Amino acid sequence: MIPRGRRRPGFAAAGTGQLFGMQPPPAPAGRLGCPKRMVFGPCGGVRDDERCELAEHRCVFLGQPVVAWPGPAVEASGPRPGTGPLVLADLSVAPFDPASVRRIVGVLAPVCDGLLVGEHANRPDFPPTMFAAEVIGAGGRIWTTLACRDRNRVVLEQELAGLASVGVDGVLCVTGDGRGVSVRPGVTQVFDLDGTRLAALAAQAGLRVAVPESPEAPPVELRPARVVQKQRAGAHLCVLNHVSTPARVTAFVAAARAAGATLPFVAGVAVYTDEPSARVLQRFPGLHLDAAVVERVLAAPDPRAAGIAAAVAEAVELLAVPGVVGVNLSGMGSARGEDDGARIKAAVAEQLMEAR
Ligand code: SF4
């Protein structure tokens, strides 16, 4: 398939020209005992009882100071995000199905500022660059999640160069949630890099870089300072995982500002309209939803309308938080499939546009 994306002037030259000559990220050996071989841990999957996401022991980063990004801050050469409120939406499509991409982009692109493509351990799809070209060709603007779980450093570099070339709006650099033992047994998990080191590579490639953070995953008190180190690694934007209340987002962003972070934040909005779409978010490590709101939506006479209204209300509150420049409409939205989920997220986005 030939990429049909809009080339962004300057991105391709910065990406492909600089990427392979750049200095390797520091400290290639991961922390002893970390299944993801992270240097700049902990990941966002630390359990509420402080157990590792992937093993039965305590996360090896707990009880330790925040790992500082060594040396000078990486210069982030890509353009910075705009200042207006941003409405992103998770792009969930049928895997390996270009027709599904075109259909769902057609529903979401007219009402969203950008589409965030995830990387799921149990749901592989086309390679990120090829997928991005499909989305852009269908008229969407895309932020691509790139995970270290399934690619060694060489392949990550290839994808960064490709994403810069096809003209994505940005890259969300993540270590990646671990693949459970029952998911694709025998498939290795790579973790040559972690999300922070990948962010540095992406910034040096001239891409706009987003990084994730999980405000309510242990160690809660140290996570604001992690954002500072990710910014030093080259991040332009921080995408927050779901938290239980907007007040927690307010406190987290204020703490990150106090620690020295100046980058803008995008907050996650949980979109669910039935039991399966709610429970899958609640079960995800590192995510927290307001349990009272979830039960109220599920018990409503019309859970679909109630779920949309709850998402709009949460988004409006989050957009009022100082430092939050946008929201990401996240989750399946519906158990009836990707097309229905897209219609639900589009309804949330439309109501948000009216409320803005
Ligand atoms: S919770 Fe994450 S960072 Fe901590 S030891 Fe496990 S994989 Fe590593």
* CB distance 127 to 170 below 8 Å: no
pLDDT of 77: 58
E strands present in the chain: 86-90, 114-117, 142-147, 170-174, 209-213, 237-240, 265-270, 324-330
How deeply is 313 buried, as exposed, middle or buried, from its count of CB atoms within 10 A (0-12, 13-18, 19+)? middle
What secondary structure letter does DSSP report for 101? H
Q: Atom 4, ligand 1: which residue's CA is nearest?
A: 59
Q: How many residues does the chain have?
A: 356
- pLDDT at residue 16, as a whole number: 44
Tell me which residue has tokens 């018990």: 299
**Residues 6+ positions from 225 with CB-CB distance below 8 Å:** 66, 256, 259
Q: How many angstroms separate the alpha carbon of residue 232 from the centre of ligand 1?
A: 22
**Cα 270 from chain centroid?**
13
Report the alpha-carbon distance of residue 205 to residue 301 in Å, rounded.
Answer: 51
Low pLDDT (below 70) residues in the chain? 1-28, 76-84, 356
**Tell me: the pLDDT tens digits for 187-208?**
999 999 999 999 999 999 999 9
Rounded Cα distance, 356 and 353, in Å: 5
Q: Report pLDDT for 284.
A: 79
From ligand 1's centre to the CA of 30, what distance in Å? 11
- Sequence ranges of the domains in the chain: 86-355
pLDDT given for residue 11 in this prediction: 32
CA of 191 to the centre of ligand 1 (A): 12
Topology given in CATH for the domain delimited by 86-355: TIM Barrel (3.20.20)
User: In the numeric block, which tokens belong to residue 269?
Assistant: 């909005």
Residue ranges lining ligand 1, Cβ < 6 Å: 34-36, 38, 41-43, 45-46, 52-54, 59-61
147: amino acid identity, one letter? A
Q: Which of 245, 260, 271 is nearest to 323 (CA)?
A: 260
Q: How many helices (H) and strands (E) does the chain have?
A: 11, 8
Dmax (CA) for the chain in angstroms is 59
DSSP 29-94: SPPTT-TT--SS---TT--TTSB-SSSSSBPTTTTSPPPPPPSSPPP--SPPP-SS-EEEEE----
Atom 3 of ligand 1: nearest residue by CA position = 42
User: How does pLDDT run across 31-56, given as a tens digit for each residue?
Assistant: 999 999 999 999 999 999 999 999 99
pLDDT in the model for residue 288: 84
DSSP state of 21: G
